């Protein structure tokens, strides 16, 4: 897929207006001066080398268009919550597709994982657990900026559950350039691992993969598919860091990473972790008891790190101080 770039925006004039306004007011690779409608912008992006366009039409589906041939190569059905596209000029909104044509996406790709010369065999799996109830690239940027072991690493951000937007500001924090971003959308399927191995290629520093689980139970529909996907990524060995947002039903998803080299679990604070923010609907006792069981019995090298400086490794709270005494006591009660 060398030479391809992606742009994501809506057919609606209102959102295009915001998109154009943002590009004019910020340092982006898109020179959009003089363009006020979707068609002129599409032609301009094509001239700028933007070859693949994910074009949301209304709130029902997304068309994938190859601008080189003007061929529509599939529809992605969107079943997420309603959002006002015109209300967020600082974001290119992400959509969770329920289906797409694997073969069509494969025809776009021309470089497989194993063809890349800069493979990194030391894969590191990173889990983000419910940062204030909703992990975001901004939280990710904060956590990674304070984690020297991730310095200079390539990042694959995978969202298993949430309807997510990725803002320009967050992307610039992580990459330094909007042009370094590329987004891919998938859902669990028997062919997922093979398709992603063929289609997800390195155009920049961050890739985004959002499977569709809206309205469904990821425990039932995605566990085996994502396990095979992780296996394929690990075998390809092209990413130093893979980041998962596992805030929904994480107790089962975690087990698919048992063979991974290293796992970090992030929470935004010790209080958040102990109060049950690992998964929505879990009590603190259940969340920490689950975490303790997994760490002690399966992966004692797992580190739970919180941005306020506290860590739990092998079931032991590290760096504790008096200000978190009440939470430390609660942690002891769960273990």
> DSSP string covering 33-78, please?
TT--SHHHHHHHHHHTT--EEEEEETTTEEEEEETTTTEEEEEEEB
Give me the pLDDT at residue 108, please: 28
H or E element at residue 208: strand 206-210
- Report pLDDT for 225: 47
Query: What's residue 151's pLDDT?
Result: 58
Residue 264's H or E segment, with its range, is strand 263-267
- Report pLDDT for 181: 28
For every residue of 195-207, DSSP letters joined together read HHHHH---SSSEE
Q: Looking at domain 96-268, which CATH architecture does it have?
A: 3-Layer(aba) Sandwich (3.40)
Beta bridge partners of 63: 55, 75
Cβ contact 285:279 at 8 Å: no
* Sequential DSSP letters for 137-177: HHHHHHHHHT-GGGTT--EEEEESS---EEEHHHHHHHHS-
| Residue 145 confidence (pLDDT) | 53
Instruction: Write down the domain spans for the chain.
Output: 96-268
pLDDT of residue 322: 37
Q: Smallest Cα–Cα separation from 71: which of 104, 47, 100, 29?
A: 104
- Predicted pLDDT of residue 154: 53
How far is 163 from 216, CA to CA, in rounded Å? 13
Q: What is the mean pLDDT of each run of 10 residues along the chain (335 residues)?
A: 34 44 50 56 57 38 42 31 29 25 27 33 43 42 54 53 34 32 30 34 36 39 47 50 46 43 47 37 37 48 47 44 39 37
Distance CA 223, CA 246 (A): 12
State the pLDDT at residue 239: 52
Q: Which two tokens stand for residue 282?
A: 């879990």
Distance of CA 109 to the CA centre of its chain: 20
The pLDDT value given to residue 38? 54
């Amino acid at each position: 897929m060398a030479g391809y770039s992606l742009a994501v925006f809506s057919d609606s004039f209102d959102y295009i207006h915001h998109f154009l306004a943002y590009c004019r007011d910020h340092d982006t690779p898109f020179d959009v001066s003089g363009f006020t409608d979707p068609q002129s912008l599409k032609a301009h992006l094509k001239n700028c080398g933007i070859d693949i366009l994910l074009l949301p039409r209304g709130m029902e589906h997304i068309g994938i268009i190859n601008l080189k041939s003007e061929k529509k190569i599939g529809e992605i059905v969107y079943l997420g919550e309603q959002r006002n596209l015109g209300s967020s000029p600082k974001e290119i909104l992400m959509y969770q597709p329920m289906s797409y044509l694997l073969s069509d996406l494969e025809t776009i790709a021309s470089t497989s994982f194993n063809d890349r010369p800069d493979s990194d065999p030391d894969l590191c799996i990173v889990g983000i657990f419910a940062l204030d109830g909703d992990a975001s690239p901004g939280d990710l940027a904060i956590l990674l900026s304070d984690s020297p072991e991730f310095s200079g690493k390539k990042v694959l951000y995978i969202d298993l559950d949430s309807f997510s937007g990725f803002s320009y500001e967050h992307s610039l924090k992580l990459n330094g350039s909007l042009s370094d971003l590329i987004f891919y959308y998938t859902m669990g399927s028997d062919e997922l691992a093979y398709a992603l191995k063929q289609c997800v290629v390195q155009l920049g520093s961050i890739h985004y993969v959002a499977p569709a689980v809206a309205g469904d139970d990821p425990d039932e529909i995605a566990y085996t598919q994502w396990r095979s996907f992780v296996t394929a990524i690990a075998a390809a060995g092209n990413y130093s860091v893979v980041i998962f947002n596992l805030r929904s039903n994480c107790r089962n998803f975690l087990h698919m990473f048992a063979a991974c080299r290293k796992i970090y679990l992030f929470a935004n604070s010790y209080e958040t972790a102990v109060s049950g923010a690992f998964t929505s609907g879990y009590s603190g006792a259940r969340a920490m008891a689950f975490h303790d069981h997994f760490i002690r019995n399966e992966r004692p090298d797992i580190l739970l790190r919180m941005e306020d400086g506290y860590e739990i490794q092998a079931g032991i709270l590290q760096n504790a101080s008096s200000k978190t005494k009440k939470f430390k006591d609660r942690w002891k009660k769960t273990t």
